Amino acid sequence: MFITFEGGEGTGKSTQVKLLAGGLRATDVDVLITREPGGTPSAEALRELLVTGETSRWSAEAEALLNYAARDSHLREVIRPALAAGKTVICDRFMDSTRAYQGIAGGCSMTLIDRLESEIVGLTRPNITFVFDLDPVVGLARAKARGTGDEDRYERKGLAFHQNLRQGFLTIAKAEHQRCKLIDAAQSVAAIDAAIWKQLRG
């Protein structure tokens, strides 16, 4: 299976990625955890360009292109080989983040994003995507308390951006409800974990 986790800043995705991987490994499932942007040395180098520096350093179009350059490397070198080897891949962010961050919240042409997705993702689409929904005021406060070093470029984009981002993820989840499962990220860690397992078993 190819499982992705999506959502805004501070929604608790990374914690749940680790919990799900641990639970699957306990049932003898071979799991690979990875993330975007990143996952390969070249993609991690592009990640640094995207998540650090001034908020205005890239246009939304440039961000989409950088994300897809990283995603191409990630798919070719990590995700597709792992799936071909029978592993379950769990990825912290994937194509829906580009749709939401650069497209819906950032204003990048969805025609460009759709073309990139078609050409680079192709048929390697997630089997299930968990979309974490949380009030961005709460999420940004969590992210600030957690601390991300200098990887805070998106957190500094302002509340209006993050409100649009939340609506973007909700729009994606509604449009692709068979693949995307909406998770209330305001719940406790244990309650979210239980909700994820319920969706997987359903």
pTM of model > 0.75: yes
- Give the distance, in angstroms, between the CA of residue 124 and the centroid of all CA atoms in the same chain: 15
- pLDDT by residue (tens digit) across 98-131? 999 999 999 999 999 999 999 999 999 999 999 9
- pLDDT score, position 148: 67
Instruction: Give residue 43's region: left, alpha or beta (phi > 0; psi -120 to 50).
Output: alpha
- pLDDT score, position 146: 82
Domains and their CATH numbers in the chain: 2-201 (3.40.50.300)
Contacts for 116 with CB less than 8 Å, ≥ 6 apart:
64, 65, 68, 98
**Per-residue pLDDT at 202 exceeds 90:** no
- pLDDT by residue (tens digit) across 137-156? 999 999 888 876 788 999 99
- CB-based contact 66:49 (threshold 8 Å): yes
